[in-house]
Amino acid sequence: MSSAAPTSVSATPAILSGKEAQAALEEELIADVARLREAGCQPALAVVRVGEDPASETYVRNKVKAAERVGMRSIHQHLPERTTQAELEAAIVALNEDPAVHGILCQLPLPRQLDAGRITRLIDPAKDVDCFHPYNVGLLTMGEPRFLPCTPAGILYLLERGGISPAGQHAVILGRSNIVGRPLSILLSHKGYDATVTVCHSRTRDLPAITRQADILIAATGIAEWVTADMVAEGAVVIDVGMNRVQDASRKTGYRLCGDVDYAAVAPKCRAITPVPGGVGPMTIAMLLRNAVTAARLLSGIGA
Amino acid sequence: MSSAAPTSVSATPAILSGKEAQAALEEELIADVARLREAGCQPALAVVRVGEDPASETYVRNKVKAAERVGMRSIHQHLPERTTQAELEAAIVALNEDPAVHGILCQLPLPRQLDAGRITRLIDPAKDVDCFHPYNVGLLTMGEPRFLPCTPAGILYLLERGGISPAGQHAVILGRSNIVGRPLSILLSHKGYDATVTVCHSRTRDLPAITRQADILIAATGIAEWVTADMVAEGAVVIDVGMNRVQDASRKTGYRLCGDVDYAAVAPKCRAITPVPGGVGPMTIAMLLRNAVTAARLLSGIGA
Q: Which residues contact A242 (CB under 8 A, 6 or more apart)?
A: A219, A220, A221, A222, A223, A224, A226, A258, A259, A260, A261, A276
Identify whether B107 is part of a domain.
Answer: yes
Residues A175 and A276 in one domain: yes
Residue of B nearest to A131 (CA): B138
Query: Could you give the number of structural domains in chain A?
Result: 2
Q: What are all long-range contacts of B176-182, with beta carbons under 8 Å and residues at least 24 apart? A: B176/A189, B176/A190, B176/B201, B177/B220, B178/A141, B178/A142, B178/A143, B178/B132, B178/B137, B179/B149, B179/B151, B180/B149, B180/B151, B180/B152, B180/B220, B180/B241, B181/B218, B181/B220, B182/A141, B182/A186, B182/A189
| Bond before A99 cis per omega within 30 degrees | no
Residue A171 included in any domain: yes
CA B25 to CA B35: how far, in whole Å? 15
Instruction: Let me know if residue B302 belongs to a domain.
Output: no
Q: How far apart are CA B198 and CA A200, in angstroms?
A: 9
* Residue A143 with chain B: CB contacts under 8 Å: 178
pLDDT at B303: 78
CB contact under 8 A, A186 and B189: no
Q: Which of B139, B167, B176 sits opposite A134 (nearest CB)?
A: B139
Contact B278, B142 (CB under 8 A): no
* pLDDT tens across the length of chain B (304 residues): 344 444 455 568 999 999 999 999 999 999 999 999 999 999 999 999 999 999 999 999 999 999 999 999 999 999 999 999 999 999 999 999 999 999 999 999 999 999 999 999 999 999 999 999 999 999 999 999 999 999 999 999 999 999 999 999 999 999 999 999 999 999 999 999 999 999 999 999 999 999 999 999 999 999 999 999 999 999 999 999 999 999 999 999 999 999 999 999 999 999 999 999 999 999 999 999 999 999 999 999 997 5
The pLDDT score that the predictor gives to residue B185 is 98
Query: What are the tens digits of pLDDT across the range A26-78?
Result: 999 999 999 999 999 999 999 999 999 999 999 999 999 999 999 999 999 99
Q: How distant is the Cα of A9 from the closest Cα of chain B, in angstroms?
A: 22
- Same domain for B120 and B180? no
Same domain, A167 and A265: yes
**Residue B80: inside a domain, yes or no?**
yes
A254 to chain B, any CB pair closer than 8 A? The answer is no
Tell me the CATH number at B121.
3.40.50.10860
A13 inside domain: no
CB contacts of A142 in chain B (<8 Å) are: 134, 137, 178
What integer pLDDT is reported at residue B296 of this predicted model?
Answer: 98
B72 class by beta-carbon count within 10 Å (0-12 exposed, 13-18 middle, 19+ buried):
buried
Q: Is residue A98 part of a domain?
A: yes
Q: Which residues, 6+ apart, have CB-to-CB distance to B89 below 8 Å?
A: B118, B119, B122
Residues A180 and A121 in one domain: no
User: Could you say which of A190, A196, A201 has the minimum Cβ distance to residue B198?
Assistant: A196
Q: Do A166 and A109 reside in the same domain of the chain?
A: no
* Alpha-carbon dihedral sign for residues A274, A276, A278, A281: positive
Residues A254 and A182 in one domain: yes
| Catalytic annotation present for B32 | no
**Chain B residues whose beta carbon lies within 8 Å of the beta carbon of residue A168:** 203-205
Q: CA angle at residue B282 from B277 to B287, to 5 degrees?
A: 155
**B95 vs B103: CA distance, rounded Å:** 9
Note down the domain range covering A54: 41-126
- Which one of B71, B98, B126 terminates a domain? B126
A63 tagged catalytic: yes
Domain with A206 in it: what CATH number? 3.40.50.720
pTM over 0.90, yes/no = yes
- Separation CA B147–CA B288 (nearest Å): 9
